Amino acid sequence: MDHASDHTCRNCGATTSGNFCANCGQETRLHAPSFGEFMHEFIGHYVALEGRLWGTIKRLLFRPGLLTNEYLAGRRRRYVEPLRLYLSLSIIFFAVLKLTDADVATIDARPVPPEVQQQASPAEEKEKKAHPEIVNENLEQVLEREAPSVFHAFDRFDKMDEKQKNAVIQAGFYKYAPYAIFLLMPVFALWLKVLYLGTGRKYGEHMLFALHTNAFAFIMLGVFIFLPDGFLKFLALCWVGGYLPWAMQRVYQKGRWGTLWRWLLLAVLHSASLTIAILGVMAAGIMSAH
* Average of per-residue pLDDT across 141-167: 70
Confidence of residue 116 (pLDDT cuts 50, 70, 90): very low
pLDDT tens, residue by residue, 89-109: 998 888 888 888 766 655 555
- Average per-residue pLDDT for the chain: 79
CB 216 within 8 A of CB 56: no
CB 120 within 8 A of CB 93: no
Most confident of 35-39, 163-167, 202-206: 202-206
Provide the residue ranges of all domains of the chain, joining segments of one domain with +.
Answer: 92-106+160-288
Supply the pTM of this predicted model.
Answer: 0.70
